[in-house]
Structure 1
Amino acid sequence: MLRRFFVMAAAVVAASSLLAAPADASPRHGEYLALGDSVAFGYRPNAGAAYLNAANFSGYAEKYASLRGLRLANASCPGETTGSMLNVAAPSNGCENGYRLAYPLHVAYPGAQIDYAVQYLRNHRDTRLVTLTIGANDMFRCQNTTPDHCTGPDFQAALSQASRNLAAILAAVRAHYRGDLVLVSYYSLDYRDATQVAQVKAIDAALTQVTRRYHGKIADGFTAFRLASLRTGGDPCAAGLLVKLPTGGCDVHPSAAGHRALTAALVFAR
């Protein structure tokens, strides 16, 4: 286990160095479809007029596409839940009932994100990669709408529902695509907080189990952030991995450095 830890640490450092190099200007070969929520979108809070142009936001998907020379279609939506990804009438955490009404996405489409994904895969037979980050907004909604703030049985109920929805999402993808499918897993906001770490690990474990059933790989965002925050004692905010807030502290979304860590995890997905 200790040897694997140091191998992963060396891999993250090596990938981060590679990502710091100039972007590849060679012709693009193959398609890459990115799906999911605000993490996949590259969302930043308090961005003002920047929201009017989706090109102002980039994250791990854009970095990986540049690194590998892939043509990217990023269909993610800030606030997307596993339910709203399947059906726009299902509750989201600010996608269908918020962000999409006011601001453009990276790609424009009517209806549910999964419907766009299916149509995209039908029309782009040279797709090399599909990535997905989804599920956190399900748990945020659970925190905001349940009496126990998603700390007891409601947590398990929400996680079970998210797992069922993810299975439906991946089944729809696999009906039209047999290539590399990667779940980019979530990170902890504070590795010193045992309760939060346990919750994030439970979410990642449940989503990983579903992804494996559909022959998907895992980009271990949890470990990538943990390794990158070792120098600050397990504090991703102090390590610069999260977006800094003008009032102090950090938002939940990755900074540019955080997205580099997630891209490194994607490079070594397995």
Structure 2
Amino acid sequence: MSIRSSISAIVRSRARIACPLAVIAAALVAVPVAQAAPGPKHNPPKSVYLALGDSLAFGYQQAKFNQNLPIENPAVYNTGYVDDFAKDLGSINPRIQTVNLACPGETTDSLLGLTRCPYHPPFDLHTNYTGSQLHAALAILRAHPGRVSPVTVDIGANDVLALVRSCTTATGINLECVASGISATFAHIRANLSTILAKLRRAARHTEIIVLGYYNPLIVSVPGSDAVSAQLNSLVAHTAAQYRARFADPLPVFNPAVNEIPTICKLTLICTPLHDIHASDLGYQKLADLVFAASGY
């Protein structure tokens, strides 16, 4: 049985709704995190590139979603970083296949199967499956030992977004509320990400795993919030290193020290009328470039 047909047998259908983020206020509590260890020697691309994550991995953009209602065809979301990174991989191994399991709105809990991703149903994903995203990923890895590499992961932004939403009232975001909950949210992300990466690494001991961090589109409305995004990226980088995974950090590219607002407006859609926090096509290409650089290929 070919990889494509056997993956189709394993996988079935799940979907998405929503968004990543980067975060929130200068007043937030920081979580101390050790520096990440140097990345391991890379494992060249094999037969399958497997992508896990939320709306960023899906390639979501709000305008495309609005234009394609009521029936969302996932094929219209074809300018995401997974698509661009897959092209890079194709230049190394023209026969590599991409399996994108990403679900917009996915949290670390829903990726583990503790809750469900709100996008699927009602909408289709790039690759439909039953059960959790992690369950589908592990099934593919176990069915094709040694043939799946790389694996990319971006997850956790919606965990932070859930905190922000819980602290938002008719008068705006309550920064004291966010500050009081951010340490617990970070700890939750770290624990769940550790579980996710441990299971992936156990199923694929030599597979190249690359974890994508966070940029901060909310800097346009919450000055000083980059420090919190940097703290979260440090936490994720350290957790990734514990499982021999590489880390790609978008923050210096999307939120540079000089010309930050023009840059974030160019690389995301936050400054458009929809105030969409997702990446622009150019921004998705930049994310793919960062993932490729982190891969060591």
TM bucket (normalised to shorter chain) is: 0.7 to 0.9
- Offset, 1:266: 1.0
| Separation (CA, whole Å) in 1 of partners of 2:260 and 2:166 | 33
Equivalences for residues 207-246 of structure 1 within 5 A: 207-226=236-255, 230=258, 232-238=259-265, 240-243=266-269
Other-structure match for 1:22: none
Q: Report runs of 4+ in structure 1 exceeding 6 Å deviation.
A: none
Report the AA paired with residue 53 of structure 2.
Answer: G
Equivalences for residues 66-145 of structure 1 within 5 A: 66-69=87-90, 70-87=96-113, 89-90=114-115, 96=117, 98-125=118-145, 126-145=147-166
Report the AA paired with residue 111 of structure 2.
Answer: M
Other-structure match for 1:198: 227
1:157 to 184, 206, 213: 184
The TM-score, its normalising length taken from structure 2, stands at 0.72
Other-structure match for 1:259: 284
What secondary structure sits across from 2:50 in the alignment? strand
Q: Is the 8 A contact 2:167 2:178 kept in 1?
A: no
2:273 to 222, 241, 247: 247
Q: Is the 8 A contact 2:255 2:264 kept in 1?
A: no
Report the AA paired with residue 83 of structure 1.
Answer: D
- Bigger proportion of residues as helix: 1
- Offset, 1:235: 3.2
2:84 to 54, 58, 63: 63
Q: Is the 8 A contact 2:270 2:278 kept in 1?
A: no
Q: How many residues align?
A: 233
Structure 2 unmatched ranges of 5 or more: 1-44, 91-95, 169-173
Q: Is the 8 A contact 1:184 1:218 kept in 2?
A: yes
Q: Is the 8 A contact 1:146 1:154 kept in 2?
A: no
Distance 1:156 1:31, change over 3 A: same
1:170 to 173, 197, 200: 197
Q: Is the 8 A contact 1:190 1:236 kept in 2?
A: no
Distance 1:226 1:195, change over 3 A: closer
Distance 1:146 1:247, change over 3 A: closer
What secondary structure sits across from 1:215 in the alignment? coil
Other-structure match for 2:4: none
Q: Is the 8 A contact 1:35 1:131 kept in 2?
A: yes
Other-structure match for 1:40: 57
Report the AA paired with residue 164 of structure 2.
Answer: Q
- Offset, 1:105: 0.3
Other-structure match for 1:10: none
Report the AA paired with residue 105 of structure 1.
Answer: L
State the Cα RMSD in Å: 2.4
- Offset, 1:142: 0.9
Q: Is the 8 A contact 2:217 2:270 kept in 1?
A: no
| Separation (CA, whole Å) in 1 of partners of 2:272 and 2:248 | 31
Report the AA paired with residue 99 of structure 1.
Answer: Y
| Separation (CA, whole Å) in 1 of partners of 2:156 and 2:84 | 22
Q: Percent of counterpart pairs with the same letter?
A: 28
- Offset, 1:236: 3.2
- Offset, 1:222: 1.4
Distance 1:195 1:183, change over 3 A: same
- Offset, 1:264: 1.0
| Separation (CA, whole Å) in 2 of partners of 1:245 and 1:262 | 19
The TM-score, its normalising length taken from structure 1, stands at 0.79
Distance 1:262 1:110, change over 3 A: same
What secondary structure sits across from 1:266 in the alignment? helix
- Offset, 1:175: 1.1
Other-structure match for 1:49: 68
Report the AA paired with residue 136 of structure 1.
Answer: A
